[in-house]
Amino acid sequence: MMKHNQVLSTTQLKRLENHKYSCQSSSLLDPILQPWWNFLLRRIPMSLAPNFITIVGLMVNIASALVLILYSPDAKGEPPAWACFLCAAGLFAYQSLDAIDGKQARRTNTSSPLGELFDHGCDSISTMFVALSACISVQIGHHPYWMFFQCFCAMTLFYCAHWQTYVSGTLRFGKIDVTEAQIIIMGIHVISGIFGASIWKSKIGGIEVWYFVAFSTIILGSMSLVQIFSVILAGGVGKNGSTVAGTSVLSPIIPFSMILVPAFIISQKSTEDVFETYPSLYIITFGMVAAKVTNRLVVAHMTKSELEYLDWGLIGPLMLFLNQYFNNFLPERVVLFGATAWCTFDLIKYCSQVCLEICNHLNIHLFKITPQLHGVPAGGPGAKEEHNNGANHVHSATQPHRKQNRVSRRYNN
Catalytic pick from 4, 19, 120, 162? 120
For the beta carbon of residue 270, count every other beta carbon within 10 angstroms: 19
With respect to residue 3, please indicate whether it lies within any of the assigned structural domains: no
With respect to residue 10, please indicate whether it lies within any of the assigned structural domains: no
pLDDT at 370 (0 to 100): 72
Q: What is the span of the domain harbouring residue 28?
A: 17-390
Residue 302 CA to residue 333 CA, distance in Å, equals: 38
pLDDT in tens, 47-62: 999 999 999 999 999 9
Profile the chain (413 residues) by mean pLDDT over runs of 10 residues: 75 90 88 95 93 96 96 92 96 96 90 92 96 94 92 95 94 89 96 93 88 89 92 90 92 95 94 93 97 96 93 95 92 95 97 94 88 50 37 37 36 41
For the beta carbon of residue 286, count every other beta carbon within 10 angstroms: 29
- Number of structural domains the chain divides into: 1
pLDDT in tens, 60-114: 999 999 999 999 999 999 999 999 999 999 999 999 999 999 999 999 988 889 9
Whether residue 143 lies in the annotated active site: no
pLDDT at 379 (0 to 100): 47
Kind of pairing between the strands at 171-173 and 23-25? parallel
Q: Is 25 helix (H, G, I), strand (E, B) or coil?
A: strand
Identify the burial level of 305 via C-beta atoms within 10 angstroms of its C-beta, where 0-12 means exposed, 13-18 middle and 19 or more buried: buried
With respect to residue 380, please indicate whether it lies within any of the assigned structural domains: yes
With respect to residue 48, please indicate whether it lies within any of the assigned structural domains: yes
With respect to residue 9, please indicate whether it lies within any of the assigned structural domains: no
pLDDT at 393 (0 to 100): 40
For the beta carbon of residue 208, count every other beta carbon within 10 angstroms: 16
- Evaluated on CA atoms 223, 224, 227, 231, the torsion sign reads negative
With respect to residue 406, please indicate whether it lies within any of the assigned structural domains: no
Residue 281 CA to residue 392 CA, distance in Å, equals: 39
Q: If you write DSSP's letter for every residue of 294-325 in order, what string do you get?
A: HHHHHHHHHTT-PPPS--GGGHHHHHHHHHHH
Q: With contact defined as beta carbons under 8 Å apart, do 121 and 298 qualify?
A: yes
396 DSSP β-pair partners: 383
Q: With contact defined as beta carbons under 8 Å apart, do 371 and 363 qualify?
A: no
With respect to residue 84, please indicate whether it lies within any of the assigned structural domains: yes
With respect to residue 76, please indicate whether it lies within any of the assigned structural domains: yes
pLDDT at 4 (0 to 100): 61
